[in-house]
């Protein structure tokens, strides 16, 4: 136990050193920290203690490591409240300037919904849906991958309406098709990113993501949108509050959210 305590004191010493270095040198997000060896020499500790300290600081969101590149000061985590109804900007409650948020429309396709989406939207599996994939940027960094599934019969011209549209999808749905987001049900889980997530969000093999799957309901209680949002966990803090008597998303809803070709 004495050895364990000594090791704990050593890695805490490194953590204090790094925090002091960041503060005294007024280091900004993206600034590179000294190498592991340099940190070990400065603190007079082993590389094991340095790696333990960096593990703890990375979990706390203070640093970000890139294998083969180095360790960098991490940006302040963005506070988001995903349970709030409405577009993405409505959920951003701290740590981000709204004018620095932008959206890239990746593609808009039609297809038949998978069984899980059909159940959540209270429709048959052979009902056509729009599949809308977007990438959300914050300060020019890709931060949120978002996919929405919306029944074609509820928004028949949605594909054309989205071309060149850079605003809120929910505002477009409300203004053009009368689909107003009154409330939502959501499920959040921490998972390993898919290869597509790693590519679109510029993640490494060490990164984890928060995946939110949800259903949006209109004022009369009709579901009109299944959505999936993927966030890098090191960039966000999630604030959740509220209750609901509905439950269209089961406790485990990790099945296939996808579409198949209409043709």
Q: Is the pLDDT of residue 177 over 50?
A: yes
Token pair belonging to 53? 């300290």
The two tokens of residue 14 are 């490194």
Nearest to 124 by CA among 114, 134, 132: 114
For the ranges 82-86, 96-100, 217-221, the one whose mean pLDDT is highest: 217-221
Beta pairing, strands 223-232 & 259-260: unpaired
Model pTM greater than 0.85? no
Q: What pLDDT, on a 0 to 100 scale, did the predictor assign at position 3?
A: 42
Alpha helices in the chain (DSSP H): 2-24, 36-43, 47-59, 88-91, 115-120, 158-162, 169-177, 195-200
**Mean pLDDT of the chain, nearest integer:** 83
Return the pLDDT at 2: 41
Sorted by where each begins, the domain ranges of the chain are 2-73, 78-260
Distance of alpha carbon 102 from alpha carbon 197, whole angstroms: 18
pLDDT category at 68 given cuts 50, 70, 90 is: confident
Give, in words, the CATH class of 78-260.
alpha beta
Distance CA 210, CA 229 (A): 8
One of 3.40.30.10, 3.50.50.60, 2.30.40.10, 1.10.10.10 is the CATH number of 2-73, namely 1.10.10.10
Q: Where are the beta strands (DSSP E) in 32-161?
A: 63-66, 70-73, 78-80, 92-94, 101-113, 128-138, 141-151
* pLDDT tens string 220-233: 999 999 999 999 98
Residue 96: what pLDDT? 56
């Amino acid at each position: 136990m004495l050895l364990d305590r000594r090791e704990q004191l050593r890695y805490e010493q490194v953590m204090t050193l790094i925090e002091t270095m960041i503060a005294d040198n007024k280091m900004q997000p993206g600034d590179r920290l000294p190498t592991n060896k340099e940190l070990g020499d400065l603190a007079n500790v082993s590389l094991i203690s340095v790696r333990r300290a960096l593990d703890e600081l990375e979990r706390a969101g203070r640093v970000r490591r890139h294998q083969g590149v180095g360790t960098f000061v991490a940006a302040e985590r963005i506070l988001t409240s995903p349970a709030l109804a409405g577009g993405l900007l409505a959920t951003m409650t701290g740590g981000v300037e709204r004018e620095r948020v932008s959206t890239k429309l990746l593609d808009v396709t039609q297809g038949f919904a998978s069984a899980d989406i059909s159940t959540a939207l209270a429709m048959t599996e052979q009902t056509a849906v729009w599949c809308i994939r977007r990438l959300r940027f914050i300060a020019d960094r890709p931060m949120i991958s978002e996919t929405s599934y919306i029944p074609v019969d509820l928004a028949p011209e949605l594909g054309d309406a989205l071309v060149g549209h850079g605003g809120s999808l929910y505002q477009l749905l409300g203004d053009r098709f009368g689909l107003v987001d009154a409330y939502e049900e959501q499920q959040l889980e921490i998972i390993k990113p898919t290869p597509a997530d790693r590519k679109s969000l510029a993640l490494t093999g060490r990164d984890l993501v928060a995946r939110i799957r949800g259903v949006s309901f209109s004022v009369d209680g009709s579901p009109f949108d299944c959505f999936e949002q993927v966030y890098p966990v090191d960039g966000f803090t999630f604030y959740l509050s509220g209750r609901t008597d509905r439950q269209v998303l089961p406790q485990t809803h990790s099945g296939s959210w996808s579409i198949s070709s209409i043709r």
